[in-house]
Amino acid sequence: MTDAKTAIDETVKANDVVLFMKGTKSMPQCGFSSRVAGVLNFMGVDYQDVNVLEDETIRQGIKDYSDWPTIPQLYIKGEFVGGCDIITEMTLSGELDGMFDENGVIYDKDAADKIREANA
């Protein structure tokens, strides 16, 4: 498990935005992963996707690393942000935009506004 923790830690620290998910950003393999990847993709965020289905040690390791039981998991600048429900709420409230702004993450503000308009 140490190797998995090291790999996870290096990935989280080496990338501004990381999504541990089932599947990939272009082909999510569960609805929750699809929702978060869809938000990030629509907003034009450059992020690293990690398919936990490819490696059982990473799949379990990320849960231990964050002390969070579910996947997907989003990290921004090394900080665990949350899973699907939290990211959805943060997107709709504008809190995710703020987090991107604070951390210098480039995203499409108009796309973020369109998500909120569509869900108002």
DSSP one-letter string for 34-101 = HHHHHHHHHTT---EEEEGGG-HHHHHHHHHHHT--SS-EEEETTEEEE-HHHHHHHHHHTHHHHHHH
Partners of 73 in the β-ladder: 20
- What's the CA gap between 68 and 22, in Å, rounded? 15
At 120 the pLDDT is 84
At 2 the pLDDT is 66
Q: Is residue 30 marked as binding?
A: yes
At 80 the pLDDT is 97
**2-118 placed in CATH 3.40.30.10:** yes
- For the chain, 120 residues long, the average pLDDT of each consecutive 10-residue run is 87 97 97 97 98 96 95 97 97 97 97 94
